[in-house]
Amino acid sequence: MTDDTQIAVDVRDAVKRYGDFTALQQISLGIRDNEFFTLLGPSGCGKTTLLRMIAGFEDVTEGAIFLYGDEIETLPPHQRPVNTVFQNYALFPHMTVLENVGFGLEMLGQSKAAARTRAAEMLELVQLSQFASRKPAQLSGGQQQRVALARALAPAPKVLLLDEPLSALDQKLRKAMQIELKHIQRETGITFIFVTHDQEEALTMSDRIAVMSAGELQQLGAPRDIYELPRNMFVADFIGDTNLLEVTVDEVTECRAACSLDGGLTLSCEAVEGVRKGAQVHLSIRPERLVLSETATGADSLRARVLENIFIGTDIATLLVLDNGSEITVRTSNSERGSKRIFDAGQMAFVTMERGAARLLRD
């Protein structure tokens, strides 16, 4: 974290326990001002708990939370200048769309008229002006979602919290909302903290991602870093598709590590700090960074037999089995079909890793 960017939300050694169960173990992270920050992890990893602690719906068992320098973890939710978009929207069923959006402003002491004006502006932002006088139940899921967003944005919060807001939408609407959310975030300049279990969504939308598992922070970084330089098995496996190979490190020179696989196969890759000679570790290699060829293109090419080809729209996934019996997947972009050969099932081919693509994992 650099000193010149302001920290919006600073979570310091936050612990959350429910009786004997520890939901969050000593999480510390700083969320920068004006950032689209994502908490990513499988269900039960503690991401929603952390979000709810920032909103004030859950007590902090230990540790502290600062909002732009002010300690807030003891304040009740209605005194925290943050707003939440709830997973199932939680729109007030007895109020119109306009009343829903204006509710926060009214509670902040604005006059009804002023709240209405601002609420109407917010509805314009989410393109729902024509539905202002409807009741939430008369709207589609996507429209309700946008009302929830407008309602949370209306009081101009310092930080907007979004708890899996897109999970109830269908694929297509979801993609459209992802773009719209990102757009609104940039336009308003509000810090967004977004919770999701969908790694693709996290990669598309975020400035930075905190990957969580079992109540612990696994890795914090920009989407690209997390995708290309996963720190451990969990992150490598959870983010995107990957091939995990068990290897033994034979030799570590300055920046390369020579590794051997079962069955006498060998290959080399970039060394990673903390992985020493003799260590038995996993090597992660993304399927799209493997190349298939008829002949070996170097010392690191591995011979394999094609099991099958799977067509997945933009790509073709080729499933192969190495000489030592491990399976490996290679993804070839469909646009490259002309320049690259597609091997049929049963044929032999050589698999080569792109330089710098393989990553040794510490655990």
Partner 1 sequence: MAGGAASSGSTASDTYAGARHWLLMPSWFVLLIFVAAPVAMMLVYSFLTKEFRGGVIWEFSLGAYDQFFFDRGLFGDDPPQIDWTYINIFWRSIWQAGLATVLSLLIGFPTAYFIATRPERSRALWVFVITIPYWVNLLIRTVSMKFLLRDQGPMNDFLIWTGVIDDPLRIINTNLAVQLGLFYSYLPFMVLPIYAAVERYNFTLSEAAADLYASKWATLRRVLLPAVKPGVIAGCILVFVPSLGAFLAPDLLGGARNFMIGSLIEEQFKGNAGNWPFGAAASMILLTLVLIILMVFARQQRRMGDMR
At residue 359, what are phi and psi to the nearest 5 degrees?
A: -135, 125
Choosing from 19, 20, 69, 137, the residue that interacts with partner 1 (CB under 8 A) is: 137
- Angstrom CA distances, 253 to 262, 269, 355, 356, 361, stand at 22, 11, 16, 15, 17
Choosing from 108, 176, 310, 342, the residue that interacts with partner 1 (CB under 8 A) is: 108
Which span sits near partner 1 by CB under 8 A: 151-159, 166-174, 211-219, 287-295?
151-159
Q: Decide: is 9 part of the binding site for partner 1 (CB under 8 A).
A: no
Q: Which helix (H) or strand (E) holds 32?
A: strand 21-32
From CA 5, how far away is CA 206, in angstroms rounded?
17
Instruction: Report, in Å, the least distance between residue 240 CB and partner 1.
Output: 32
Pairing mode, if any, of strands 208-213 and 36-40? parallel
SS3 label, residue 281: strand
Q: Decide: is 68 part of the binding site for partner 1 (CB under 8 A).
A: no
Structure tokens, 292: 């298939």
Q: Which helix (H) or strand (E) holds 252?
A: strand 243-252
Q: Decide: is 114 part of the binding site for partner 1 (CB under 8 A).
A: no
Q: Decide: is 76 part of the binding site for partner 1 (CB under 8 A).
A: yes
With respect to partner 1, which residue has the nearer C-beta, 95 or 222?
95
Q: Which helix (H) or strand (E) holds 31?
A: strand 21-32
Q: Decide: is 291 part of the binding site for partner 1 (CB under 8 A).
A: no
Instruction: Report, in Å, the least distance between residue 170 CB and partner 1.
Output: 22
Tell me the β-bridge partners of 27. Answer: 14
Q: Decide: is 19 part of the binding site for partner 1 (CB under 8 A).
A: no
From CA 229, how far away is CA 284, in angstroms rounded?
9
Number of residues that bind partner 1 (CB under 8 A): 26
Choosing from 77, 141, 278, 298, the residue that interacts with partner 1 (CB under 8 A) is: 77
Contact set with partner 1 (CB under 8 A): 55-57, 76-79, 82-84, 86, 88, 90-94, 103-104, 107-108, 135, 137, 151-152, 155
